[in-house]
Amino acid sequence: MKRYRVSSATSIVLIMLCVMYLITYLDRVNVSTAAAGFGKEFHLSHTEVGLVFSAFAYPYLLFQVIGGWVSDRFGAKRTLLFCGTLWAAATVLTGFAGGLASLLAARVLLGFGEGATFPAATAAMSRWVAKERRGFAQGITHAAARVGNALAPAAIVIVMAKYGWREAFYISGAISLVWVAIWWLTFTEHPKDHPRITAAELQILPATKAKPAKVPFPRLFKRMLPVTIVYFCYGWTLWLFLSWIPQYFLHSYDLNLTKSALFASTVFFAGVLGDTLGGIVTDKIFERTRSLKRARSWMVSICMFFTLLALIPLMFTHDLYVSLACLAAGFFFAEMTIGPMWAIPMDIAPEYSGTASGMMNTGSALAAIISPVLSGFLIDRFGSWELPFAGSMVLMAIGVVLALRMQPESKFDTGTAPNAGSVSRMGV
């Protein structure tokens, strides 16, 4: 498999996308740790804190498909310039919140800003990443996102201890604006236009194709539906972890803020390893077998099964280090699904990769709305911090079965009308 210098054009683009993924998740999950500050200041219940966690997901859900279409139609550069400016402003405004209503408003604005980011990034990768490296590219960018998850608890605690919870959002917003400026200076929509691109890189990148003028939304949605449902099953666990893991260690084991942040970061670093390894493994399987079904569907199904097994002991014991091991292992295997999952939209519909990935990510966005609030309600109602993980286990079991129906080896028919064979391969 061809490797490139860190200073090559393709590497620069991938590094910039990795940094973006890190920042977007830093800006999403900083609220989980900061909740210890604003929750106390505004006298919020766990259910109300769950509403703050999930508020960002409503517009995030809405803008998955819209943002994917926009990035396919107008390009990833302009889409991410606009989105980056908007999510940076939303992050800063979170620091100015004066109560529950203004917190919710700022988080909703953040959802608008970040809604198109991952579909736009996938659209960029469809042009800037060779087919044989799609899993790695998706895995390493999402690993960077998990670095953001892992850094956020410790970083926010440090800032909160020295300055306060509001200042944590001001700093996060400023970092986002710096990324926007660098993206504007370094990215070109098409590889051939980049000043650092080489003939060797262009030779292995996908050929530039004109985008069809009209996206066949109904047929594409039907084709992507099994993928979307599987990603909902994954997303439920993701947003449970991102929203409540810092609070889980803080309250379930009566740890102080610093120790709870350390334990939460340990769990999230396991996700970094899972994302990275998952991207490498899916590409290796494809390289050796040339089977997208094995490299994508089978791998996702197996990793979801191991996630389920890892979480089971939480229901039968209440030991700090057993819980840490179970949660870290569960998050590791859950994140191993990311490389193959995000490669699937590019495998199925490369011409509409932004729109297709947006459709898939609506599954996770819907889970982000329901999972944090329902989890907070269960904690308030039953006083159990382990009970929300039972829902994750059920959905992972569903995902194990449905992952085999995604059929990434069957490319989407871009014709005006699907033939009988293509309908039978849709897996719906």
Q: What would the pLDDT profile of 236-254 be if each residue is shown by its tens digit? A: 999 899 888 888 988 888 8
- pLDDT of residue 41 exceeding 60, the answer is yes
Highest mean pLDDT: which range of 4-8, 11-15, 28-32, 396-400: 396-400
Question: What is the per-residue pLDDT across 289-338, written as a single tens digit (0 to 9) for each?
Answer: 999 999 999 999 999 999 999 999 999 988 999 999 999 999 999 999 99
The count of domains in the chain is 1
Question: CA-CA distance, 279 to 294, in Å (whole number)?
Answer: 14
User: pLDDT, tens digit, for every residue of 158-204?
Assistant: 888 889 989 999 999 999 999 999 999 999 998 988 888 888 888 88
The number of residues making up the chain comes to 428
Residue ranges making up the domain that contains 413: 9-208+215-424
Q: Which of 55-59, 136-140, 289-293, 367-371 has the highest mean pLDDT?
A: 289-293
pLDDT beyond 50 at 417: no
In a domain, 1, yes or no: no
The answer to the question of residue 71 being in a domain is yes
**Does residue 377 register a pLDDT over 80?**
yes
CB contact at 8 A, 327 and 242: no
Cα–Cα distances in angstroms (integers) from residue 368 to residues 58, 153, 241, 287, in the given order: 8, 19, 11, 34
CA distance 22 to 128: 19
Check: CB of residue 383 under 8 Å from CB of residue 318. no
Q: What angle do CA 107, 109, 111 make, to 5 degrees?
A: 75
Q: Is the pLDDT of residue 418 over 70?
A: no
Does residue 63 lie within any of the structural domains?
yes
Task: Give the orientation angle of helix 165-186 with respect to helix 76-94, to 10 degrees.
Answer: 170
Least confident stretch, 25-34, 98-107, 315-324: 25-34
**CA 79, 170, 114 angle in degrees (round to 5)?**
25
With beta carbons less than 8 A apart as the criterion, state whether 148 and 24 touch: yes
CATH number at residue 416: 1.20.1250.20
Q: Which sign, positive or negative, has the C-alpha torsion 231, 232, 233, 234?
A: positive
Place of tokens 């870290």: 328
Q: What DSSP designation does 213 have?
A: S
- Reported as a pLDDT band with limits 50, 70 and 90, residue 211 is low
- Banded pLDDT at 151 (limits 50, 70, 90): confident
With 0-12 / 13-18 / 19 or more C-beta atoms within 10 angstroms meaning exposed / middle / buried, residue 311 is buried
Q: What is the mean pLDDT of residues 400-415?
A: 88
pLDDT at 415 over 90: no
- DSSP codes of every residue in 327-385: HHHHHHHHHTTHHHHHHHHHHH-GGGHHHHHHHHHHHHHHHHHHHHHHHHHHHHHH--S
Q: What per-residue string of b and e applies to 322-338 under the rule 16 or more CB within 10 Å gives b?
A: ebbbbbbbbbbbbbbbb
Query: Would residue 2 count as lying in a domain?
Result: no
Instruction: Please determine, for residue 36, whether its predicted confidence score (pLDDT) is greater than 70.
Output: yes
Note whether 354 and 122 are within 8 A (CB).
Answer: yes
Is residue 223 within 8 A of residue 348, CB to CB? The reply is yes
Measured distance CA(224)–CA(354) in Å, rounded: 12
Most confident of 29-33, 34-38, 99-103, 368-372: 99-103
101 falls within a domain: yes
Helix or strand (DSSP H, E) at 145: helix 134-162
Give the per-residue pLDDT at 108: 94
* pLDDT per residue as tens digits for the range 61-71: 888 888 888 88
Residue 3 within a domain: no
**What residue type is 427 in one-letter code?**
G
* pLDDT value of position 13: 92
- Taking residue 285's Cβ as centre, other Cβ atoms within 10 Å add up to 19
pLDDT surpasses 80 at 422: no
pLDDT at 35: 86
Instruction: Report the pLDDT value the prediction gives residue 104, as an integer from 0 to 100.
Output: 94
With CA atoms as reference, report the closest residue to 223 among 360, 72, 379, 45: 360
Q: How far apart are CA 17 and CA 10, in angstroms?
A: 11
